[in-house]
Amino acid sequence: MQSPKMDPRKPPEYILEVFADPTSVKDIVKGILHTIFFHRYFPCIRPTSFDVLNLTLPAISDVELETLIDARVNALIRQHLSSSSNSPNGGVRGRIAVQFFEKRRRK
């Protein structure tokens, strides 16, 4: 994991590079995003788990969050598939950025 990019106007952005078999990419990215949100989602949650490659990862049972994660992962997969057909060696990279913003209370 690389250190965060520091810009005083933006929250830190962490980059996690993942190399995976194309048939497992969707489940792996979903597992990573569920784990991140499980540890950063502050409203009351109903915990659940997500199994990926013989690992049980934490997840949140929330339809809205699941829909958002599915949409972003599917967009990444579509981008990956269209890019891999144009790449001579078949290798491509994709990136999803997750940022958490803090609401500051006015005094």
What end-to-end distance do the CA atoms of the chain give, in Å? 37
Sequence ranges of the domains in the chain: 23-84
Q: What is the pLDDT of residues 82-95, one digit of tens each?
A: 776 665 555 567 77
Q: Give the ranges where 1-107 is alpha helix by DSSP (H).
A: 25-40, 63-86
pLDDT in tens, 3-20: 555 556 777 777 777 777
CA distance 23 to 59: 21
Tens digit of each residue's pLDDT (9 = 90 or more) over 25-60: 889 889 999 888 888 877 777 888 989 889 999 988
pTM to 2 decimal places: 0.70
Under 8 Å between Cβ of 18 and 28: yes
In the three-class reduction of DSSP (H, G, I as helix; E, B as strand; rest coil), residue 44 is classed as coil
* Residue among 37, 40, 43, 45 at smallest CA distance from 61: 45
